[in-house]
Chains A and B, each alone.
Chain A
Amino acid sequence: MSPRAAARLEALGFARVHDYVAGQADWGAFGLPLAGERGSETRVGAYLRDDMPTCTLDEQLSTVRGRVSASAYDICFVVDDKRVLLGLLGRRALASDSDGAVETVMTAGPGTVRPSLAVDDARERMRRRDLSLLPVTRSDGVLMGVLRRVDFADATSSTRPAR
């Protein structure tokens, strides 16, 4: 649709016309704000927490266990130096006897959602898969935070989070 609009504007004599081809979906998926009646505040991005523990591939499990114990979580997200989400250390991995590198025991490629997902859709996805928590990543894979079911249990796409 936007290429046709751009062509139409050029035909109307506008000299400097640009087409943001990836559009609004790309904007929202990158966690950038949206205005309007729904806007960003009815999206999962408004309910993110960023206090989750993270670790890197080459860290030792013994180090990571201490970090997780000191947090409000019982899992840990594995990221690279740009915070791209690579894997997850679940409860079983953290409770294991292993003391190797994170990379040897992590679960690779955990499922994620985008910050632009509507809260109703996120709730349904978590309900169907019986998830209490979901990592939220931008379109470039960078971990933005986590969505906890308990934090938005009562929210809908027509309600907004308390500030």
Chain B
Amino acid sequence: MPLAVDREQVQELVAAGAQLVDVLAAVEYADEHLPAATNIPLKELNAETARQLKRDQPVIVYCHDYQ
């Protein structure tokens, strides 16, 4: 079960090496995103696109808000 994290936890996890993944559409990602985030739009998230992520490091996903 994925763990919900808040802003402070995101900062701590990223500082410890976690990977940030923006799952919004590419055009929204180009517009703005969290620093150091990688873009994998939800519609394109599959085994192939997930290969760019390291399996030995935590992954944090986010979108715009509670949508």
Contacts and interface: CB of A to CB of B under 8 A. Distances in A.
Main secondary structure of the interface of B (DSSP, over half): loop
Contacts of B67: 1
Given A6-B61, A19-B3, A38-B32, A12 B24 contact: no
Which of A2, A6, A30, A37 is most buried by chain B, counting CB atoms within 10 A of its CB? A2
B47 interface: yes
Contacts of B4: 18-21
Contacts of B10: 18, 20, 27
Contacts, number: 133
Nearest to A6: B2
Interface string B1-39: 111111101100100001001111000011111111100
A20 B60 contact: yes
B54 to A, nearest CB: 10
- Which size bracket describes the interface of A in this complex? 35 or more
Given A1-B24, A30-B7, A18 B60 contact: yes
Interface string A17-47: 1111111111110101111111100000000
11 contacts: A5-B45, A9-B59, A14-B50, A14-B55, A14-B59, A18-B18, A19-B3, A20-B4, A24-B32, A30-B7, A35-B37
Interface of B: 1-7, 9-10, 13, 18, 21-24, 29-37, 40, 42, 45-47, 50, 53, 55, 57-67
